Amino acid sequence: MTISFDLIGQRIGNQRKKMKMTQTQLADTVGVSSRTIGKIERGYDMRLSVLMAIADALDMRLRDLLDYSPQEPLAILSQADKQKICRHLQAIAELLPGECDG
């Protein structure tokens, strides 16, 4: 099975945020531009040498970036997406009065 570059980018972004690092801080540690880090987090520009340096900077094993886990969600919803979904669900509930009451 293969892993998507998007998922690798998500893992990098999640770990960076968990460590409270900015893209610029990570870029400085790795020796690339913050634009490159942004591209990587969006699933582009996946050079192995850079991924190795990023894994090291984020205290991760390279395997943890590249390993496929079928239980892992493929996408993480942003707060804006969650709010949009909630608005849609509320609108649907308003169209079905009494149907959603316990």
Residue 12 counted as domain residue: yes
Q: Compute CA 32 distance to the chain's CA centroid, rounded to the nearest angstrom.
A: 20
CATH code, 39: 1.10.260.40
pLDDT of 100 above 50 = yes
Average pLDDT over residues 12-37: 94
Confirm whether 27 is domain-assigned: yes
Give the Cα-Cα-Cα angle 11, 15, 17 (nearest 5 degrees): 120
Alpha helices by DSSP H, 19-78:
23-30, 34-41, 48-57, 62-66
Which amino acid is located at 23 in the chain?
A: Q
Residue 35 has pLDDT above 80, yes or no: yes
pLDDT score, position 25: 96
Side-chain-side CA neighbours of residue 38 (13 Å): 4
**Looking at the domain assignment, is residue 31 inside a domain?**
yes
| Contact between residue 31 and residue 53 where contact means Cβ atoms under 8 Å apart | yes
Phi, psi of 35 (to 5 degrees): -65, -40
Distance CA(65)–CA(93), nearest Å, equals 40
pTM for the whole thing?
0.60
**How many domains does the chain divide into?**
1
